[in-house]
Amino acid sequence: MKRLLLTCTALALAIPAFAKTDALSLIPNDAVTVGVVKLAEMRSSPLSATLFQQTDKVSTNGDAERFLREAGLQPTRDIDILVVATTLRTPLGHDADVLIAADGRFNTARLVQALVARGAEQKNSPNGSYFLLPNEHDSRNGAVAFPDSHLVIIGTEGAVIEGLAARSAGGTSFMSAGGLARDLGRIDPHATAWAIVDVARAKRFANSALRTVTTVALWATDNGDALKLGAFGLSNDPETLQLVEDTLRGALSAMRLAAQDKQPDLVSVLRRFNVSRTDDSVTISGSVPAATFREYMNKQAR
């Protein structure tokens, strides 16, 4: 399953950008995790563009590099929105279906040609065709579909078939059907990227001390001058909330101590991060100045 998720994510990053709303409309109603990255907004910001500059310096190898060349793809230029969602295959199970949807522009013919050359097999569903990816190591096949020239759907075969069905039906009702969507209002509406996890149903993401945390989310907002970061955890258990709050405050203190000698400028940045608590949540938020972010990225590139 882990290998399949990595394969699907890698293929998604090799797909050029697509339309503005299609990908978001395919989030399953019962999603356990959802992640969204607005790459078009990142490209237009000098701050986030630093990430793309570093990515462009990385040389891919082997078949991945040949695939990009044959398909004529430039991921850092072409992807606009990337959505990743997981759903449990059974209510009490641990196995999950993965859906990756991307909005943008791409050459379907070249993509199909490149996939078929690598052994992809065309299949049909009631709501459109898709390509079953060759399976070498995983017990389940990955799949990819190109409903139109602005949308790609990637994931486990079942997730892709359901994604095609959702598109034919005009999208899912995730945003209005409750579930994880009920807590989206706690996330910065201007976030450049965000992720939210239903811990109650995806307990593999929680350690034994945090069994009563129900939802976790994190986000990043690029406003050009700084990168705003935030995260929250929800729980109805006061002891759990106290544990989370203490853990976050302790982690910030440890990071400040560790940075005093090697990165003294980072200490003042960490001091600006705030941890707050309400009756049902603990939130951490702060911002990293653009200059600090660029300096960090430059050091990582050396």
User: Residue 255 and residue 238: Cα distance in Å, rounded?
Assistant: 26
- Residues 103-131 as b or e (16 or more Cβ within 10 Å = b): bbebbeeebbebbeeeebeeeebebbebb
Q: What is the pLDDT of residue 172?
A: 92
Instruction: Give the model confidence (pLDDT) of 152-188 as tens digits.
Output: 999 999 999 999 999 999 999 988 876 788 888 899 9
User: Residue 189 and residue 34: Cα distance in Å, rounded?
Assistant: 15
> 203: how many CB neighbours lie within 10 A of its CB?
14
**In the chain, % of residues over pLDDT 90:** 26
> pLDDT confidence of 213, banded at 50, 70, 90?
confident
Q: What is the pLDDT of residue 301?
A: 54
**In the chain, % of residues over pLDDT 70:** 75
Q: What is the pLDDT of residue 131?
A: 93
Q: What is the pLDDT of residue 163?
A: 95
User: Residue 223 and residue 47: Cα distance in Å, rounded?
Assistant: 8
H-assigned helices in the chain: 2-13, 39-43, 49-56, 62-71, 75-78, 108-116, 157-168, 238-262, 264-271, 290-301
Residues with Cβ within 8 Å of 20's Cβ and at least 6 positions away in sequence, in order, are 80, 81, 103
Instruction: Give the model confidence (pLDDT) of 107-117 as tens digits.
Output: 888 888 888 98
Angle at CA of residue 287, ends 260 and 265, nearest 5°: 25
In the predicted structure, residue 45 carries a pLDDT above the cut 90: no
Summarize the confidence of residues 31-59 as an average pLDDT: 70
